Structure 1
Amino acid sequence: MPRLLGVDIPGNKKIPYALRYIYGIGPTLADRLVKDAGLDPDVRAHELNEEQLNKISEAIVSEGILVEGDLRREVSANLKRLQAIQSYRGIRHRRGLPVRGQRTQCNARTRKGRRKTISQGKK
């Protein structure tokens, strides 16, 4: 398994697909990085030599793209900031509810978690 920016990428996949295993790199960015590095997109990741891996990592650094730990830190800092200023979005994040205006009356099970049954008590 080749290592790129401290992350093991799968060696049996083509480069654009293998790059997506790095947090912060999606399909479009992966294609652009391979093109900027001047590599053949049909080559498998395990076939890359050190020089080619360095070209890809230089392309990531030169474009100023945040990946892995730096990106995770920035995202968590943004969430903490929203919660600290007690914005609507921050409150929704803290409560574990949908943030972007989705309804919660009948759906939102992914965000709210499993149903919590409430006992009826004595009647």
Structure 2
Amino acid sequence: MVYVLGVNLPDRQLVKFALTQFYGIGHHTAARICARFQMHNTCKVRDLTPLQVTALASFLSSPKDSISPPRFPRAPPDFVPSTKTHQQLLQEFRAARVQREAENKRPEFLLRRRRDARILPDPLKSLTIEAELKQEIRENIAHQKMIGSYVGRRHAMALPVRGQTTQNNARTAKKLNRVERYS
């Protein structure tokens, strides 16, 4: 079992479903988080490396302060993997970087990332979970009660808020009328 920010994530569960154990993370947000940390759809919690668990915990603790992951260019459809060794690829990469710096050009994917960041802000930056989200909800309900809205009054009387039917609608209407008279 993995504990992340006080929440138990079962080992045999898929990561995208285990993340929904956090209050405030649904299936869609969990899928986005898995994509951000490059976890495939069938990755289980027990398959996570300690580095991934640490990165996930640091992101969930403060998503606003986290750094957006780099976007790498996608391979074209006709891409064939290289048979070169790691050392050869590393030398070629360093030579290309030196040449690019000499020309003072930035790679296209970096330019594209800056352009996309201006157009589409990162939706995970505004993620609030657990205690922060519960506190925000409590504040919203207290605000509704303070301004005396219909929703606030229903919260104060512990009645259904979103239009659910109660057992005795006449009794509920009398309670509301009584509250309105004394308000």
Using structure 1 for the length normalisation, give the TM-score: 0.76
Counterpart CA distance in 2 for 1:17 and 1:35 is: 13
Structure 1 residue 58, shift from structure 2 partner: 4.6
**Counterpart residue type for residue 29 of structure 2:** L
Give 3-state SS (helix, strand or coil) of 2:126's partner.
Answer: coil
Give 3-state SS (helix, strand or coil) of 1:20's partner.
Answer: helix
**Counterpart residue type for residue 131 of structure 2:** G
Change (3 A) 1:64 1:53: farther
Counterpart CA distance in 2 for 1:56 and 1:38 is: 11
Question: Corresponding residue for 2:164?
Answer: 102
Counterpart CA distance in 1 for 2:22 and 2:46 is: 16
Residues 35-65 of structure 1 deviation map (CA, whole Å, 9 limit, x = unaligned):
1111122111122122112333454414231
- The question of whether the paired residues in 2 share the 8 Å contact of 1:33 and 1:59 is answered with no
Counterpart CA distance in 2 for 1:85 and 1:4 is: 38
Give 3-state SS (helix, strand or coil) of 2:21's partner.
Answer: coil
- The question of whether the paired residues in 2 share the 8 Å contact of 1:37 and 1:59 is answered with no
- The farther-off stretch of 46-55 and 19-28 is 46-55
- Taking the TM superposition and a 5 Å limit, the aligned residue runs for 1:82-121 are 82-104=144-166
Counterpart CA distance in 2 for 1:36 and 1:68 is: 20
Structure 1 residue 105, shift from structure 2 partner: 5.8
Question: Corresponding residue for 1:19?
Answer: 19
Counterpart CA distance in 2 for 1:84 and 1:49 is: 48
Question: Corresponding residue for 2:113?
Answer: none
Pick aligned residue for 1:77 from 110, 116, 139: 139
Question: Corresponding residue for 2:87?
Answer: none
Using structure 2 for the length normalisation, give the TM-score: 0.53
2:142 is the counterpart of 1:66: no
- The farther-off stretch of 39-48 and 53-62 is 53-62
Q: Indicate the RMSD between aligned Cα atoms, in angstroms.
A: 2.1
- The farther-off stretch of 71-80 and 96-105 is 96-105
Mark the structure with the bigger radius of gyration. Answer: 2
Q: How many residues align?
A: 108
Identity of aligned residues (%): 32
More helix per residue: 2
